[in-house]
Amino acid sequence: MSKRRDTLKLGLFLRATGHHVAAWRHPGAQADAGIRIEHYQALARQAEAAGFDTLFLADSVGVRGIDSPVFDRLIAPHLTFEPLTLLAALATVTRRIGLIATASTSYSEPYNLARQFASLDQISGGRIGWNLVTSSDAASAHNFGGSGQAAHADRYARAREFQQVVDKLWDSWEDDALLLDRDAGLFLDRAKRHFTEHRGEHFQVRGPLNVLRSPQGKPVLVQAGASEDGRELAAATAEVVFAAHQSLHDAQAFYRDLKGRAQALGRNPEHLKILPGVTIFTGASEAAAQAKHRELQELVQPEVGRELLSGLLGGVDLSHLSLDAPLPRDLPLSNASRSRQELIQKLADEGLSLRQLYLRLAGARGHWTLVGSAEQVVDQLEAWFQGYGADGFNILPPTYPEGLDDFITFVLPELRRRGLVRQGDYEGRTLREHLGLPYPQHPAARRGQEAVA
C-alpha cells in the first residue's frame, strides 16, 4: 500500500482532571477543575496553539455511578459544566479550533437541540460539531419520566428520526436568505425560507428554525456508536466517528466495515473520518513514561477499580468476586453498550484477573493506551494511520494539564517531523475545512444547479 497523502486529524477529549480514573488524586491536578471555567479555557487555548483540529466534550444527563457505593470516590468528572454552555464559553476564547459537544437524542427535542447547535455554530464562526449519542446509562433515564431506559433498538429508532429532523431544521434558510434592504424595507427573501413540515413517528416539527445557516453550512455530525444500529446510523449520516479499539486489527476491521457501509450507501468514504481514542503516557524516555504510568496506577483505589469495571459492563454486580481471580465467562449482558462488554469479555478470556482488568481499563475506559517514548508512541500512531485503522486520533490525556503538556512537548514534534500532521497554521477557518469535509450545500441550491446543468 502506498503512503497516505492526507494528514492525520487530531481531536482532544477534554475531561476535568483527565481520563485516568485516579487523575484527580494526582499531585499535579487541580482536583476541582471540573467547575473551573479558566481551567477549560486554558486547555482550549493551549490545544489551539498546538494546532489540534478539534476539542471534544462527552456527556451524560445524569450522574453516572450515583448508585455506586463508592460514587463519592469516583465522581470527579461527572459534576461539571453542561457541554453546550461550556462550548459557547470556549468558543469566545478561541479562534480556529473545532468544538464538538455530545448531546443525546433520547431526552431532548430536536428543535431545541438543532437550535442550540446552530446558535453555537454562529457564535463560533462555523467550528461546531455534534456528537450524537443515544445515552447508554440508565441513570439518565430516571431524570426524564418514570418509564425507565428505552431499549437499545428503540433508542436508535428515535435517534434516526431525531437526526433527520435536526438536519432539515438546519436547512430552514438558504445561505443567502438575508437581503437587508433598508430602502425597500425587506429584511429577507421569502423564497429562501423552508418549512420543515416533519410528521414522523416520534416527532412533528413544523419549522423553520429561528437561527440562520452558519459559516460552515451546518455543524459537523459526529457519532460514537459501535453496535450494528450505531454503525448503520454512522455510515448513513456521520462525518466523524469516534471509536475505541485495543488493537490495530480491530481498528482496521472497524474502519473497513464503516467505510464500506458508507460507500454502499453512495457516500464518499473520505467524507467520514474515523478517530479512535488513545491515552498516551510519554516523557523524555521510555522509563520516564513508565514511571508516570505507574504513579497513576498506584493511585487507583481497589473499590473504585471494581466499580469502574462494573460500570463498563453496564452495571453488572461484581462485589462478590475476588480481585485476584479471573472474571467469570458467563456474565449477563445488559441493555447498555454492547461493544464495551464484548471488549471486556475478550480481555477476560485472556485470563486477566479483576485487578488486572481494571488496571488495564482505568486509564482510558476501553480506549487504547500507549506508554513509551515519543518515537515509540508515534511508531504506533503511524502504523494505525498508514494501516488504515484510523484517519486520526482522539487524544485522551491521562491527566490535565500534565498529560496534554507531555503530548505537545514530546509526541507532536515527532508527528510533525514525520509529516504525519499538518505543518503550519490551520488551513481554513471552519471545522469542516480543518477536517477536509465538504460544505453541505442547501438542497434548494443543489436543485438549482442540477436544473442549470
Ligand X SMILES: Cc1cc2nc3c(=O)[nH]c(=O)nc-3n(C[C@H](O)[C@H](O)[C@H](O)COP(=O)(O)O)c2cc1C
Beta-carbon contacts of residue 226 (< 8 Å; ≥ 6 apart)? 243, 244, 254, 337, 338, 339
Torsion of CA 255, 259, 264, 267, to 10 degrees: 170
- Taking CB under 6 A as the rule, does residue 277 contact ligand X? yes
Least spacing, CB of residue 135 vs ligand X, in Å = 5
Q: How far apart are CA 449 and CA 453, in angstroms?
A: 6
In this structure, are strands 204-205 and 98-104 parallel, antiparallel, or unpaired?
A: unpaired
- Taking CB under 8 A as the rule, does residue 116 contact a copy of itself? yes
Residues between 278 and 337 that touch ligand X (CB under 6 A): 337
Query: Do the beta carbons of residue 65 and residue 19 sit within 8 Å?
Result: no
Residue 246 vs 339, nearer CB to ligand X: 339
- Taking CB under 8 A as the rule, does residue 372 contact a copy of itself? no
Residues between 326 and 345 that touch ligand X (CB under 6 A): 337-339
The single residue among 42, 45, 46, 93 that binds a copy of itself, judged by CB under 8 A, is 93
Least spacing, CB of residue 354 vs a copy of itself, in Å = 19
Q: How far apart are CA 48 and CA 71, in angstroms?
A: 34
Q: How far apart are CA 42 and CA 28, in angstroms?
A: 15
Least spacing, CB of residue 335 vs ligand X, in Å = 10
- Taking CB under 8 A as the rule, does residue 35 contact a copy of itself? yes
Which residue type occupies 27? Answer: P
Least spacing, CB of residue 136 vs ligand X, in Å = 4
Residue 116: how many other CB atoms lie within 10 Å: 20
Q: How far apart are CA 96 and CA 42, in angstroms?
A: 15
The footprint of a copy of itself on this chain (CB under 8 A) covers a number of residues equal to 75
Judged by CB under 6 A, which stretch of 115-123, 242-250, 384-392, 406-414 contacts ligand X?
A: 242-250
Least spacing, CB of residue 204 vs a copy of itself, in Å = 4
Query: Do the beta carbons of residue 421 and residue 8 sit within 8 Å?
Result: yes
- Taking CB under 8 A as the rule, does residue 359 contact a copy of itself? no
x/- map, 384-403, ligand X, by CB under 6 A: ----------x---------
The single residue among 74, 224, 238, 262 that binds ligand X, judged by CB under 6 A, is 224
